Amino acid sequence: MIRHLPALTAQCVECAQDSECPVGKPKCFSREGKCVQCLGDPDCAGTATPFCKGQGKCVQCTTNAQCAAPNPICDGDECVQCRKDDDCTDPAKSRCRGKVCAAR
């Protein structure tokens, strides 16, 4: 019986374990062999960016549910006041400009 073994590839990687990663990216995403900020939310706890997004980036939010007033909308991994005019509920500040509700 002949067995076919998967091809082995020699590839340089940044890490194989956490101890090989720098302070700014202390976790080793071993499947890809690269150092990242986080592998899960607990790795981001206690910071201004408490949620782990995708493959290793600590962010302020990933959904609106993680944001609160006065910045209730998650946009581009950060909590903001608005994305569009309809998000601004204060009649005195009913226009969204640069993700902030402002006067018309």
Q: Tell me the whole-structure pTM to 2 decimals.
A: 0.77
Contacts 24+ apart (CB under 8 A), 90-98: none
Closest CA to 43 of 28, 54, 27: 27
Burial class (CB in 10 A: 0-12, 13-18, 19+), 48: exposed
pLDDT digits (tens, 9 = 90+) for 48-64: 999 999 879 999 999 99
Full pLDDT tens readout for the chain, 104 residues? 444 434 455 678 899 999 999 999 999 998 889 999 999 999 999 999 999 998 799 999 999 999 999 999 999 999 999 999 999 999 999 999 999 999 98
Give the model's pLDDT for residue 104. 82
CA distances to 34, 60, 102 from 22, rounded to whole Å, are 11, 22, 42
